[in-house]
């Protein structure tokens, strides 16, 4: 039994959406016969078979997103492909067709003849297609145990440890530290791993990608087709011919997919159609409408002296993409206020005197948790594609952490159910994991609201950018003693500047002012905070 895998589709194309499966189980196929239609970001491709044979099991479904190197069919009676140019590669394995139902392993090891197992980089998380090797934890000749960590890889969101799926001896290391590897790419060859692979049938090199809603900035719009794109409102359409990947792009751009004119067969909407429509919308808006400026080439800096170039780290690149998208998508408003934390500082010092070195941040997190329940529009997200508001019944707060790699925002889950001391302990541990590159992908997801505290560094006020798909973020600056006029006298009080940025599509100015005032009043009365809940 041979596996037909999805081949390389072109430069920078790592996956595609199955639009049509042209064969069925039991069909006899010939080499070169088209067996699949696949839609990528660039075009719809027909994928031919690399050999003769009989279709055994179809491992994919129409509408599914499949990645390069992922098994798509099993084929009986096939002959190995003789040309490296064929679009589909075949590879004999010991796995049975039932392996499709096997849950994804921490890393995939496919047994091959001679007792050598090929280990590929597994799916690392939602919308994560590649990562940078930061450390290889084994060397050639090492004897591996199942579950032993063999690799550290840095993705856009976290540094992950990859465990071995089986026992064996490392025969060949196919990657190097500092290189970027993609999901499904071969990383090791292991001898003696065949027995482990036979005990647990090898899972596909890369599981089908789940539908993603990650806040990754979308690619720059491609050049519009020769036919002018109509921006005028189109009639309401019930059945909209568009692939899931196209619908996702439209949602991320805040475009109603029903308004996009399709240039494909039977009016089918492609990625290029969505990008062209978005570009037409932007160019049709009046000046000052908030659209991003066109990209311009940089000057030749060497004219004025020597320069050096360094590649962006994964975290820095991801931050640039995410904040650019958030800034261009969300109409920002920032509301400033000051809160008297004189009494809170007394409470904080009394706790610190008992041996617990606690900062002001856990108190603010606790207040924000209560405020999100009082003002539910701040604990929401906007779905422009359906014209709906998504209200969340849980309270997860992200806290920006400064690291040597850049800004990370791990998320404290269910803070409304935690005491202030529990928040302090978890926040301390979470910040330490972030600085040691031990933050997991799960810790970086699921936020409802973000807090960025720069008080330990300095400054008076700043305007934080909303962490999409959230609708608000609170910036905290450094507190200082000020003279406050009270009951006919000036009294020295410790004042803390706050900056609340919010999405004006969801939150009106009056609501923003009410929210930050409620937060200030709650912080000024720390004795009302429940320390144990």
Sign (positive or negative) of CA dihedral 90, 91, 92, 96: negative
Q: Are 493 and 481 in contact (CB under 8 A)?
A: yes
Q: How many CB atoms are closer than 10 A to CB 173? A: 16
Bin 311: left if φ > 0, else alpha if -120 < ψ < 50, else beta. beta
Q: Is 504 a catalytic residue?
A: yes
Using CA atoms of 252, 258, 259, 262 in order, give the dihedral in degrees to the nearest 10: 100
For 432-457, b/e burial (b = at least 16 CB within 10 A) is: ebbeebebeeebbbebbbbbbbbbee
Q: Which of 188, 189, 117, 178 is nearest to 153 (CA)?
A: 178
Residue 57 vs residues 2, 18, 39, 74, 94: alpha-carbon distances, Å: 11, 16, 22, 5, 15
Residue 321 vs residues 220, 249, 296, 324: alpha-carbon distances, Å: 11, 15, 17, 5
Catalytic residue, chosen from 332, 424, 489, 504, is 504
Strands across the sheet with 53-58, in order?
28-29, 53-58, 71-76, 2-5, 89-92
DSSP letter at 401 equals E
Any idea how long the chain is?
Answer: 533
3-state helix, strand, coil in the chain (%, to 5): 25, 30, 50
How many angstroms separate the CA atoms of 488 and 506, rounded?
41
How many angstroms separate the CA atoms of 165 and 111, rounded?
12
DSSP letter at 49 equals P
How many angstroms separate the CA atoms of 38 and 18, rounded?
5
Which amino acids are annotated catalytic? 504
């Amino acid at each position: 039994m041979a596996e037909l895998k999805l081949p390389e589709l072109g430069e920078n194309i790592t996956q595609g959406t199955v639009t049509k499966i042209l064969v069925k189980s039991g069909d006899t196929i010939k080499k070169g016969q088209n067996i699949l239609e696949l839609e990528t970001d660039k075009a719809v491709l027909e994928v031919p078979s690399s050999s003769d044979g009989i279709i055994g099991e179809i491992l994919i479904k129409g509408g599914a997103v499949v990645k390069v190197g992922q098994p798509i069919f099993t084929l009986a009676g096939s002959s190995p492909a003789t040309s490296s140019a064929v679009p589909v590669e075949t590879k004999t394995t010991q796995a049975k067709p039932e392996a499709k139902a096997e849950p994804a392993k921490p890393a995939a090891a496919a047994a091959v003849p001679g007792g050598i197992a090929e280990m590929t980089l597994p799916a690392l998380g939602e919308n994560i297609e590649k990562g940078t090797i930061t450390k290889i934890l084994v060397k050639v000749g090492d004897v591996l145990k199942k579950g032993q960590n063999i690799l550290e890889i840095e993705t856009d969101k976290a540094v992950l440890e990859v465990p071995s799926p089986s026992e064996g001896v490392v025969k060949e290391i196919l990657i190097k530290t500092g290189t970027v590897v993609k999901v499904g790419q071969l990383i090791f060859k292991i001898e003696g791993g065949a027995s482990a692979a036979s005990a647990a049938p090898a899972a596909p090199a890369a599981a089908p990608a789940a539908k993603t809603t990650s806040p990754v900035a979308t690619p720059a719009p491609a050049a519009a087709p020769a036919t002018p794109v109509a921006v005028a409102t189109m009639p309401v359409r019930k059945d909209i011919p568009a692939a899931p990947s196209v619908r996702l792009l439209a949602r991320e751009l805040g475009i109603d997919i029903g308004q996009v004119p399709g240039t494909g067969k039977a009016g089918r909407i492609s990625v290029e159609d969505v990008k062209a429509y978005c570009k037409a919308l932007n160019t049709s808006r009046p000046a000052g409408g908030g659209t991003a400026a066109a990209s311009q080439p940089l000057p030749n800096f060497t004219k004025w002296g020597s320069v050096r170039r360094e590649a962006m780290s994964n975290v820095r690149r991801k931050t640039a993409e995410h904040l650019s998208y958030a800034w261009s998508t969300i109409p920002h408003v920032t509301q400033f206020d000051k809160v008297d934390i004189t009494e809170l500082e007394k409470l904080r010092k009394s706790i610190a005197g008992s041996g617990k070195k606690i900062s002001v941040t856990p108190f603010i997190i606790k207040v924000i948790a209560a405020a999100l329940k009082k003002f539910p529009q701040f604990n929401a997200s906007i779905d422009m594609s359906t014209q709906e508001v998504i209200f969340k019944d849980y309270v997860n707060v992200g806290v920006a952490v400064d690291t040597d790699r850049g800004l990370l925002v791990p998320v404290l889950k269910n803070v409304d159910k935690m005491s202030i001391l529990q928040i302090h302990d978890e926040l301390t541990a979470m910040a330490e994991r972030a600085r040691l590159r031990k933050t997991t992908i799960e810790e970086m997801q699921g936020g409802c609201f973000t807090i960025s505290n720069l008080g330990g560094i300095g400054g008076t006020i700043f305007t934080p950018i909303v962490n999409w798909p959230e609708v608000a973020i609170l910036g905290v600056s450094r507190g200082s003693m000020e003279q406050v006029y009270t009951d006919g006298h000036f009294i020295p009080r410790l004042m803390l500047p706050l900056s609340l940025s919010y999405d004006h599509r969801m939150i009106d100015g009056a609501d923003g002012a009410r929210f930050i005032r409620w937060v200030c009043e709650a912080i000024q009365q720390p004795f009302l905070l429940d320390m144990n809940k």
